[in-house]
């Protein structure tokens, strides 16, 4: 139907309409009345549609408004459409927010994966078959300090704890405590180490031991740092190495001399980029205690 309005006609009175319904005295007059009635009906429908179109809401304009700040609706139809537009905007905003908050899945290099396999499995002093599987903390490490640490020991310990917490990104947390500890670091002379751990292996100026449950989740840790026979820089390195290894990266390696996990004697004071990746990998949310080497290679394989 044309969008042009019909030609104007004077509205018929109720009496005229009644006469049109009655039998016409002749055929031409009867047809003329029917034509007039059709025009009136069609014209009224056209005007009604035009009035509705004029008052329909602009969805593009309303959807750009923040919820609750749109124009006051002028009709019930507009209220429904406006609310729908606002709901769509809010839903899209929430979806975008969830996508922004979703943690990114980190990828690792082949070198990091190979080094992780070397350090996270096995143990320097043990042939326990459990060392063929991932062992890690599932709950927070509550760390207490005993013995005679220097002020530098304590400052370095706090700095290393903060670094580790950042690298583990909330998957596990280390907290310094004075009671209800599940891990203890002792600063005592090396000659006294057997007093604190009867399984101590001599000629180790830094030493750690951990306990895990049947799920291979680490439950407790004991760390020994010598206060004799080494200087402050060497002791600071041992704090870093033994604490980090007690998280589950228990094996030493000869692959990278500047690494915290190097087998030989060093005094490195910082984690290398590979060291950081190993800590992130162990406490990646996808890595579970009890996983074997093949599963880790599948998980991080490139």
**With bands split at pLDDT 50, 70 and 90, how would you rate the model's confidence at 91?**
very low
Q: What average pLDDT score do residues 61-76 get?
A: 32
Write out pLDDT tens, residues 141-152: 999 999 999 999
What's this model's pTM, rounded to 2 decimal places?
Answer: 0.66
What number is the average pLDDT over the span 262-276?
92
Go through the domains of the chain in sequence order and give each one's CATH number: 14-100 (no CATH), 110-300 (3.40.390.10)
Structure tokens at 23: 């039998």
- Would you give the distance in Å from CA 290 to the centre of its chain? 23
**N- to C-terminal Cα separation, the chain:** 64
Return the structure tokens found at 258: 């500047």
Report pLDDT for 123.
Answer: 74
- Kindly report which listed range (91-95, 190-194, 222-226, 248-252) carries the lowest average pLDDT score: 91-95
Query: Which residues have C-beta within 8 Å of that of residue 131, sequence separation ≥ 6?
Result: 121, 122, 123, 250, 251
Instruction: Encode pLDDT of 194-227 as tens digits.
Output: 999 999 999 899 999 999 999 999 999 999 999 9
User: Do 267 and 233 meet the contact criterion of CB atoms below 8 Å apart?
Assistant: yes
The stretches of the chain forming alpha helices (DSSP H) are 14-21, 27-54, 59-63, 76-101, 110-120, 151-168, 193-196, 232-245, 273-282, 293-300
């Amino acid at each position: 139907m044309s969008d042009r309005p019909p030609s104007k006609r004077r509205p018929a009175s109720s009496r005229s309409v009644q006469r049109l319904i009655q039998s016409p005295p002749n055929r031409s007059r009867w047809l003329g009345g029917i034509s007039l009635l059709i025009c009136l009906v069609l014209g009224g429908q056209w005007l009604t549609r035009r009035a509705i179109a004029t008052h329909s809401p602009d969805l593009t304009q309303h959807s750009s408004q923040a919820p609750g700040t749109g124009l006051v609706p002028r009709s019930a139809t507009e209220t429904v459409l406006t609310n729908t537009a606002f709901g769509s905007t809010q839903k899209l905003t929430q979806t975008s927010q969830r996508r922004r908050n979703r943690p990114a899945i980190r990828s690792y290099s082949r070198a990091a994966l190979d080094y992780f396999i070397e350090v996270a499995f096995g143990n320097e002093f043990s042939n326990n078959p459990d060392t063929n599987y991932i062992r890690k903390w599932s709950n927070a490490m509550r760390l207490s300090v005993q013995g005679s640490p220097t002020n530098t020991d304590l400052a370095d310990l706090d700095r290393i704890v903060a670094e580790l917490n950042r690298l583990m990104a909330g998957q596990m947390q280390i907290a310094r405590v004075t009671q209800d500890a599940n891990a203890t670091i002792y600063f005592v002379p090396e000659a006294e180490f057997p007093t604190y751990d009867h399984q101590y292996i001599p000629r180790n100026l830094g030493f750690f031991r951990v306990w895990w449950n049947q799920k291979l989740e680490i439950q407790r840790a004991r760390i020994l740092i010598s206060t004799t026979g080494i200087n402050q820089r060497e002791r600071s390195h041992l704090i870093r190495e033994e604490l980090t290894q007690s998280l589950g990266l228990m094996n030493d390696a000869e692959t990278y001399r500047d690494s915290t996990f190097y087998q030989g004697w060093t005094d490195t004071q910082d984690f290398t980029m590979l060291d950081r990746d190993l800590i992130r990998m162990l406490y990646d949310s996808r890595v579970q205690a009890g996983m074997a080497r093949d599963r880790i290679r599948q998980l991080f394989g490139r």
